[in-house]
Structure 1
Amino acid sequence: MDLYPVKAQFLSGEEVELRLDTDGHICEYAEVSIYHLNDLVYRQKVADFTGNILISVGKYDTTFAGYGASVTVCTGNTRILLETAFDVVENPKRSLRYGFLSDFTQDDADNGAVEWLNKCHINMVQYYDWSYRHDHLVADQEFYTDMMGKPISRKTVKDKIEKCAEHGMHSIAYGAIYAASKPFFEKHTNWALYNSCQKPFVFIDVFYIMNIAKDSPWRHHLIAEYRKAITKMGFAGIHMDTYGFPKTAYSHLEEKPELIRLDQEIPSLINQTREELAGANQDPYLIFNNVGNWPVYFTAAAKQDAVYIEVWNPYERYSHIAQLIDEARQLSGDQRPIILAAYLEPFRKDSRERAMNAARILTAAIVSNGAYHLLQGENQAVLTQGYYSDYTRLSEKDAAILRRCNDFMIRYLDLFYDEELRNVSMTHMGWDNYEYQCQSHPVSTYGEANKLWLTIREKELRKCLYFVNLCGCENDYWNKGKDTPIPQENIRIVVQVDSPVKGVYAASPDREAMQAQAIQYTDFESDKGAFIEFVLPRIGYWTVVWIDLQGENI
């Protein structure tokens, strides 16, 4: 059996529907419960049905919230618990979960990829290498091969765009900002960028790097190609890709070569693209790839819809993941989602078990710090490197595990992506800080191996503690395979509070049910003030604890 929302995301006031697939079982009844955090907000009972049904669970007028759906199906003497999640937003751009598609032959038209991404709540999909040429995006013919020799059906691309729209998913056209084919370069040699030896830049002997400067004809050509992708193919936006290198280059637009800094040109390119595409689509999605975090200091405030960072060495440790997210949040003024494209090579180079452990830990870390992880795409696949078409297919079991992590992320959206939550991990724990204490287990606030990684975020009436288990992990490199973390039990936590506590709750995707559990706690006072103490029974991979306060004086 299976349970999932009919759309990846719902708008405020929109009727929310869940699909229950029963695999042909005759069902006596199904009990449907909808939760917002720890509160039950909706319940109904559906009786006597067979096959697949749609269950309407109401309309929600919230501007931004995640919900958990639990359905208990009774078939004879058997009761089966099914869980999923959905979110409701006023503006879809406030929460962007990025996935990918890269297979576009005729045979891929109905390969189940869009349906799978919908079950994983992916609401923004990058169409990787869908185009005819990087300098001529929309093909003139139905069947063509791209610059890497990959066969593509234009109809398949368009059909997937339409199918994504039906599921509330936004299709984003891949379009490198400066790549061109050799024939195009040979016709426009003065449009290219040149190295300090005045030789043209060429990437993997295929892609010639073109001049994106404001006065370059290439910039105008590029934006025109982006516009065609939206108007002719129906894309909702553009993924503006880069390769990281070069960062400086010479322009040959004038008789004398002129040195330009790309980090000074890229922000205006993003802004100009936004302005010119607004006429083709009322509010196009625009994503720029900061490869290796460059040049995020200049682009984070540009007119784009997310701060998107492709993570490479030397950002190689778990602490670097938190660092990237915190810096991006500060640079963007918390005005847009943060997406980390962190590809996992253990799926190619290590055992599947160790690769899955690495994936579960990394996704938990990224989400706990308030960002989104680009890893999943196609039909039950993950990325292992920068060339998306060489993805790795997951087993049914492993795909279900990562899908459950996505369910957890959406169910507790309010705890992960509330802009009011401030990360205080490095200032409120350790040394002579008494605000947060773990009195039973080794804890790290920056992802050290063989410890519980604790991230702490808080706002006026809520304190959130995010535990990622690194106990038994031999290193803190995020792109290395990991042994299964050793479960930790009876974790004793002390938290200083300035207001009476309304409740303490914990939830985990590792448990049989994702429903929040109320945690018993005790109050006590010391010369440092008022505190609460509680014990977490167990931490497997990932556990979230939140403390809600009443807002009154103690």
Structure 2
Amino acid sequence: MALIPDRATYAPGHPVVIELSAPAPADGMAVVSRLNEIVRTVPVAALATMADLGSFDRGGYGVRIGSAVTAFDVLDDPFERPRYGFVVEITEGVDVPEVSRFFRRLHLNLAQFYDWAYRHSQLMPPGQHYVDPLGQERDLGTVDRMAGALADAGTVPLGYSAVYAIGSDEVADWGESLLLRSDGEPYRLGEDFLVLVDPAEPRWLEHYLAQLEQVLEGTALRGFHLDQYGWPKFATRGDGARVDLSASFVALLGAVRDRMPGARFMFNNVNDFPTLATAPTPQDATYIEVWAPHTELQDLATLATDARAARPEHPPILSAYLSCYREDGAQSDEASANRAAGLVMATAFSHGASHLLLGEDGHALTDPYYPRNHELAEGSIDFFAAWYDFAVRYGDLLFDPAAQDVTGSFTGGINEDVVLTGADFSTKADAGAVWTHVVRTPLGLVIHLINLVGQTETAWDAGKNPTQALAGASLELALVREGTEVWFASVDEPDMVALPRTGTSASAQTDALSAGQSSTVFSLPALQAYSIVFIPEDGLG
């Protein structure tokens, strides 16, 4: 039995209703928890297919009915904890309720409508039925039905749009706006497909803003995914002006907000260009599409950390396409790709970010052209549901804007505050070790444990070996008050449990770098792919 919230996220005061995919087999209870505390229990009668849990304060919560689990969060704004999904099929025959059901089950509270528009420079189509620039059939009525259904279920529908692309047959109309190469030729995407213009050139900017306004007035889309291609960084404009694209993007984003103050939108920083410039602009999220040389899990961590530093109020979204799903359709290969996705999610969540991968009614992205995606098996959907449940349930710890990475001063090397024993532990994403990351949050200290013991490499876009569960590890903590409970949860066992104390340890002060601290020793459960240890703030001392 699956538990599915009736919304991807909830506003304060909105009742939380959980759908049961099959009638409850017997009388039972819905147990709602927040971190390490049970905050409410609600009776669930035999044969019930719904459980109304009431309304809750802002935060993340877990729900258990028997052996089935889910999660929900209550937010003032979905962009406080964005979970981004995608929609590609927008034709009359698409099963809109099934797409909405998937978004609700995975708590995807933002949706990108990919290539929904008629043309890059004319977003609204001339009629209800039309074909996109690459020949895919589209239906404007379905766009509105899909956007409305997702919005009703707590997901913000955003329409894709490239900010500086015109058709190759429009060059004569935009000569002064063109972005030119050093040889005087315009920058192109494909020989006869698209030509690029300066997004901040006044005549183009006015035209483009009017196009966006028409979308907001004429569809159920509530905002935009604003795209670029990552090049050029600098160019000469058709009228002879020198163009710094970083500055042009900043000007564009400010103009969109000034013209459409209620629109929701984000901008694609392709391969981190130009995140430091665009992150502080008045958009709603920081979004980074990841490419080489950012090929390792450690690179994802660095991108997330740097983006959070530039815009801490919005957890960054990493768009990291997993081509490893494309190898073939065998279940064993899908399992290997799922394990890769799990490590990407563990990296993102532990560094205060999220991952764009999932959408439709259960598909994973494999390519920047979204119609090239992979349909997931039902078991894989269950796998992803557990990971997204975990991120939602513990969002108060994972995504707080005030969270601080204190790894380098708390564990590893000369640090004695957090000591892990019983295996190889590393503060970096090293194959063969447990990657350890320590974060200070307003609620307490969080120790993230990502199990790379069974891996021989740490490329994020490569199928991964089965996780080697690590048993017998211990945690020595010199920073907890006597009697403090230390809590543990994992994606595989999401309910928080108190770690058992197994003794104490002490180190001698040998020099100025050794504190000679005494520590309490806790036994860790077997470590699966991703686990957290939580020490409440009032227990630190």
* Same-fold status (TM-score > 0.5): yes
- Pairs within 5 Å for 1:407-446: 407-446=389-428
State the match for 1:537 in structure 2.
Answer: 525
Amino acid at match of 1:210: V
- Runs of 5+ in structure 1 lacking a partner? 73-80
State the match for 1:264 in structure 2.
Answer: 247
State the match for 2:85 in structure 1.
Answer: 99
Cα distance between partner residues in 2 of 1:174 and 1:48: 45
**What does the per-residue CA deviation read over 1:439-463, in whole Å, with 9 as the maximum and x for residues that have no partner?**
2211121201111111110146611
Report sequence identity in percent.
27
Cα distance between partner residues in 1 of 2:24 and 2:94: 33
**What does the per-residue CA deviation read over 1:128-163, in whole Å, with 9 as the maximum and x for residues that have no partner?**
100000111111211111111111011110100110
Q: Kindly indicate whether the alpha-carbon contact (under 8 Å) linking 1:109 and 1:156 is maintained by their aligned counterparts in 2.
A: no
Q: Kindly indicate whether the alpha-carbon contact (under 8 Å) linking 2:397 and 2:443 is maintained by their aligned counterparts in 1.
A: no
- Runs of 5+ in structure 2 lacking a partner? 510-515
Summarize the Cα distance change of 1:362–1:164 in structure 2 as closer, same or farther, 3 Å threshold: same
Query: Paired residue for 2:179, among 185, 193, 196?
Result: 193
State the match for 1:290 in structure 2.
Answer: 269
The structure that is strand-richer by fraction is 1
Q: Kindly indicate whether the alpha-carbon contact (under 8 Å) linking 2:485 and 2:539 is maintained by their aligned counterparts in 1.
A: no
Q: Kindly indicate whether the alpha-carbon contact (under 8 Å) linking 1:500 and 1:549 is maintained by their aligned counterparts in 2.
A: no
Q: Kindly indicate whether the alpha-carbon contact (under 8 Å) linking 1:500 and 1:552 is maintained by their aligned counterparts in 2.
A: no
Query: Paired residue for 1:273, among 256, 265, 274?
Result: 256
Please say if 1:8 is aligned against 2:8: yes
Q: TM-score, normalised by structure 1?
A: 0.92
State the match for 1:77 in structure 2.
Answer: none
Please say if 1:348 is aligned against 2:342: no
State the match for 1:20 in structure 2.
Answer: 20
The Cα of 1:531 is off from its aligned counterpart by: 2.4
Q: Kindly indicate whether the alpha-carbon contact (under 8 Å) linking 1:498 and 1:530 is maintained by their aligned counterparts in 2.
A: no
The Cα of 1:55 is off from its aligned counterpart by: 1.3
Cα distance between partner residues in 2 of 1:112 and 1:90: 26
Q: Kindly indicate whether the alpha-carbon contact (under 8 Å) linking 2:407 and 2:438 is maintained by their aligned counterparts in 1.
A: yes
Cα distance between partner residues in 1 of 2:142 and 2:315: 30
Query: Paired residue for 1:324, among 303, 308, 314?
Result: 303
The Cα of 1:551 is off from its aligned counterpart by: 5.6
Q: What is the alpha-carbon root mean square deviation over aligned residues?
A: 1.7
Q: TM-score, normalised by structure 2?
A: 0.94
- Pairs within 5 Å for 1:459-478: 459=441, 462-478=444-460
The Cα of 1:525 is off from its aligned counterpart by: 5.2
> Residue 27 of structure 1: SS of its match in structure 2?
coil
State the match for 1:520 in structure 2.
Answer: 500
Cα distance between partner residues in 2 of 1:419 and 1:4: 28
Amino acid at match of 2:125: A
Cα distance between partner residues in 1 of 2:123 and 2:152: 24
Cα distance between partner residues in 2 of 1:404 and 1:326: 24
Cα distance between partner residues in 1 of 2:249 and 2:370: 24
Cα distance between partner residues in 2 of 1:243 and 1:496: 49
Amino acid at match of 2:54: G
> Residue 213 of structure 2: SS of its match in structure 1?
helix
Q: Kindly indicate whether the alpha-carbon contact (under 8 Å) linking 2:31 and 2:38 is maintained by their aligned counterparts in 1.
A: yes
State the match for 1:46 in structure 2.
Answer: 44
The Cα of 1:438 is off from its aligned counterpart by: 1.3
> Residue 287 of structure 1: SS of its match in structure 2?
strand
Amino acid at match of 2:526: R
Amino acid at match of 1:59: S
State the match for 2:470 in structure 1.
Answer: 488
Amino acid at match of 1:237: G
State the match for 2:433 in structure 1.
Answer: 451
The Cα of 1:35 is off from its aligned counterpart by: 0.5
Query: Paired residue for 1:337, among 304, 315, 327?
Result: 315
**What does the per-residue CA deviation read over 1:188-236, in whole Å, with 9 as the maximum and x for residues that have no partner?**
23322111111011102311111213x4311111111111111111211
The Cα of 1:46 is off from its aligned counterpart by: 2.4
**What does the per-residue CA deviation read over 1:478-533, in whole Å, with 9 as the maximum and x for residues that have no partner?**
1111111211111111122164453111111223xx21111112455555334222
Amino acid at match of 2:53: V
Amino acid at match of 1:209: L
Summarize the Cα distance change of 1:432–1:550 in structure 2 as closer, same or farther, 3 Å threshold: same
Cα distance between partner residues in 1 of 2:182 and 2:73: 51
Cα distance between partner residues in 1 of 2:309 and 2:96: 42
Summarize the Cα distance change of 1:442–1:413 in structure 2 as closer, same or farther, 3 Å threshold: same
State the match for 1:57 in structure 2.
Answer: 53
Amino acid at match of 1:248: F
> Residue 478 of structure 2: SS of its match in structure 1?
strand
The Cα of 1:406 is off from its aligned counterpart by: 0.3
Q: Kindly indicate whether the alpha-carbon contact (under 8 Å) linking 1:503 and 1:549 is maintained by their aligned counterparts in 2.
A: no
- The count of residues paired between Structure 1 and Structure 2 equals 528
Deviation larger for 493-502 or 380-389: 493-502
- Pairs within 5 Å for 1:85-96: 85-96=71-82
Query: Paired residue for 2:147, among 139, 156, 161?
Result: 161
- Pairs within 5 Å for 1:121-160: 121-160=107-146
Amino acid at match of 2:94: D
> Residue 486 of structure 2: SS of its match in structure 1?
strand
Amino acid at match of 1:70: R
Q: Kindly indicate whether the alpha-carbon contact (under 8 Å) linking 2:488 and 2:532 is maintained by their aligned counterparts in 1.
A: yes
The Cα of 1:109 is off from its aligned counterpart by: 4.6
> Residue 402 of structure 1: SS of its match in structure 2?
helix
